[in-house]
Structure 1
Amino acid sequence: MAENTTRALSEVLDYLEHSVQGQKVTIGSLVEELGPHSFASLMLMFALISTSPASSIPGVTAIVAVIEFILVAQMILGRDCLWLPSFVSCKNLSTSKLCKGINWLRKPVHFVERFLKPRLVFFVKPPWLYLPLAVILAVTPFMPFMEVIPTSGSIASAAIACFAAGLLTRDGLLAMISTLFLAAVPFVIWHVGFSG
């Protein structure tokens, strides 16, 4: 998959749609479709799944959180190829709900792409890159518990998707804003859901 293009987000949706065949699709087949070397694209793809109506599939937010945690950990460790444990890669997803999610995402994705461009590129390169990756690593373990509060998991996933979009298009400003937002999400959700 070609990265750093203005259609980076749409390309991920295209690849995702192409891989959706039959009644069920496995996580492993989605990874193979994009390529296990495409860390930013994979991060974006799974975050978009959890952001879309496909997140209504039971356990999707939790499994996406596990994938994002493993993916980011391997990025920090400098791995060239994504490895997922078998219990994750063999997980089945409903193709009908995925297709509905993809179609739902098309319009907002096309809108966002109009504003993406390379800027503040230093933030999406080492050593600065490790800061947002560390934030994602810290937040994803809490995402399965966010399902207690409706849409909160999707909000966190949307922030990760924005960061991945910034990484793909070298838009450091978007990556920076999404990192700040992601870091604040757990505190906001705690305040809204559990205070007074």
Structure 2
Amino acid sequence: MPTRDTRPVRSIVDRLHDVSDRDCVRMQDMVTAFGRSSFLPMMMLPALLVVSPLSGIPFFSTFCGLTIAVISGQLLTQREHLWLPNFLMRQKVEGEKARNAAQKLRKVANWLDDHARDRFKVLVSRAFRPWLATLCLFCGLCMPLLEFVPFSSSILGAAVLCFCTAMLADDGLFVLLGLLIMSLAAMVPVTVFWLI
């Protein structure tokens, strides 16, 4: 069985649980816990949160999407240290809700870690990584637009999670899975508006 050191996604969820041991958790607290050079973990964090029950909080998906967009944009420009605007750093969630979300996300994190392998490495090579960051940027920017379309933001969060896992674990198969999930996310608003 992999140890915690070889479980990058689970370690992010565990750290979220640890930092949530208070009444209220701000984004500033999470940035401090993960460090300003941890771009991928910090981008996975809102992606994980938006696939959790917290996505039901009004405008929470917008907050997560904007955070993903800002971080992925900085990955594209190859910044050395993460910067987030003050209005994102001030955003907060109840500690109990964050802890409950982390508890529910452990199964997702374990599944991702258990299935990550060295595969299709060309898709996570240095040449392809800017494209992966661009896909994450696109997903993040779409989340505020799809705030009131059921499940669409959570599906896009799952796609971002796959792209980040691919880059962390050097597993190109997760790139293909992320693209498949993105195509499913595109079908949700089309189906909803068709039914209306």
Q: What's the counterpart of residue 69 of structure 1?
A: 69
* Residues 1-196 of structure 1 mapped to structure 2, 5 A cutoff: 6-182=6-182, 184-195=183-194
Whole-angstrom distance in 1 between the partners of 2:127 and 2:116: 22
2:52 touches 2:101 (CA, 8 Å); kept in 1?
Answer: yes
Q: 3-state SS of the aligned residue for 2:115? A: coil
Deviation by residue 1:90-147 (Cα, 9 ceiling, x = unmatched): 1111111111111111123223322111222232232211222222222322212322
Task: Tell me the amino acid that sits aligned with residue 193 of structure 2.
Answer: F
Distance 2:178 2:36 in 1: 24
Tell me the CA shift for residue 163 of structure 1: 1.4
In structure 2, C-alpha distance between the alignment counterparts of 1:38 and 1:92, rounded to whole Å: 20
Structure 2 length normalisation: TM-score?
A: 0.90
Deviation at 1:185, TM superposition (A): 4.2
Amino acid at match of 2:39: F
Q: 1:14-65: per-residue Cα shift (whole Å, max 9, x none)?
A: 1111111321111111011111111111111110011111222222110111
Q: How many residues align?
A: 191
Pairwise CA distance, 1:186: 4.8
Letter in 2 for 1:120: F
- The DSSP-based 3-state class of the residue aligned with 1:15 is helix
What are the ranges of 5 or more consecutive residues in structure 2 without an aligned counterpart? none
Point out 4+ residue stretches in structure 1 off by more than 4 angstroms. none
Mapped partners of 2:135, 2:180: distance in 1: 9
User: Quick check: 1:166–1:174 contact (8 Å CA) kept in 2?
Assistant: yes
Q: Return the alpha-carbon distance in structure 1 between the equivalents of residues 179 and 76 of structure 2.
A: 16
2-side partners of 1:111 and 1:177: how far apart? 14
Contact in 2 for aligned 1:6/1:117 (Cα 8 Å): no
Structure 2: distance between partners of 1:61 and 1:118: 31
Q: CA RMSD in A?
A: 1.6
